[in-house]
Amino acid sequence: MLAGFGVWALGLGALAYAVRVLAAVPRSSGGPDTAVAPRSLDQPWRGAVEQVQDARRRFDDATKGVAEGPLKERLTGVAQHLDTAVAEAWRIARAGHALSKARKQIDTTRIQSELDYARSQPAGGTTQDTIAAMESQLTSAARLDATIGDTHDRLILMDARTDEAVARVIELSVSQIDDHALGELDSDVGSIVGDLEALRLAIEETHGTPTSRGGTTSSGSAP
């Protein structure tokens, strides 16, 4: 009974930790690399942020020689979208980092071993409740694993799309920049930003954290 209670409490503690940390992640206010510190994250989250930061810097290198005028203004719009992409990627990576740390608090090997033992015991008393508690913790761990994996995969995809967009900027910078092509590029980068924001909101809503509009979800949180 005590073993089952310990596993149950450990799982709840890990999930509560994830909710608290995710809720504490502040939304960046914009600007290149504002409050972005990828070295504070573990891999693979650090690398994901560093990749989008590198893309932002390459954009600056490719466009720094553009003279003031309408073209410069259009490029400034693209740059602002990239700044937002960096901020969103940073927030997502911090959330992923927090979820990964929470997941490490759930020892599924030990839980599975204790579950196997509990299942081998005669039914009666609190045995079924203990088994249910252990099974619940394994389910929680599996959900965290799925969320972490999906978040990382989608963040890496957004990084790749950002790299692609910056590569197009570099190509345009050494050729005659077409206004139509630049408009398409700006639209594509805006789409990347929208997808990043959607991913961030999905993480927040799934784990009961405040949304960007100040609302909260109902999955519960720790004080």
Tell me the CA distances in angstroms from 146 to 37, 74, 142, one per residue in order.
Answer: 26, 39, 6
Say whether pLDDT at 14 is over 50. no
* DSSP code for 178: P
Q: What is the dihedral of CA 40, 59, 171, 180, to 10 degrees?
A: 120
Whats the size of the chain, residue-wise? 223
Angle, to 10 degrees, between the axis of helix 179-206 and the axis of helix 70-104?
Answer: 20
Question: What are the tens digits of pLDDT across the range 39-96?
Answer: 999 999 999 999 999 999 998 988 887 777 777 777 888 888 899 999 999 999 999 9
Q: Which residue has the tokens 């910078």?
A: 173
Contact 89, 196 (CB under 8 A): yes
The backbone region for 209, taken as left when phi is positive above 0, alpha when psi lies in -120 to 50, beta otherwise, is: beta
Q: Is the pLDDT of residue 117 over 50?
A: yes
pTM of the model: 0.71
Percent of the chain with pLDDT over 70: 74
Pair of tokens at residue 53: 């930061």
Question: What whole-number distance in Å separates Cα of residue 18 and Cα of residue 222?
Answer: 10
User: Angle at Cα 177 formed by Cα 176 and Cα 180, nearest 5°?
Assistant: 130
- Helices (H), strands (E): how many in the chain? 6, 0
What's the token pair of residue 72? 């410069």
Please give the residue that has the higher pLDDT: either 203 or 159: 159
The helix/strand/coil state of 121 is: coil
Question: pLDDT per residue over 135-159, tens digit each?
Answer: 999 999 999 999 899 999 999 999 9
Rounded Cα distance, 4 and 75, in Å: 59
CA distance 192 to 51: 15
Q: Mean of the per-residue pLDDT values for the chain?
A: 77
d(CA 82, CA 34): 12
pLDDT of residue 124: 78
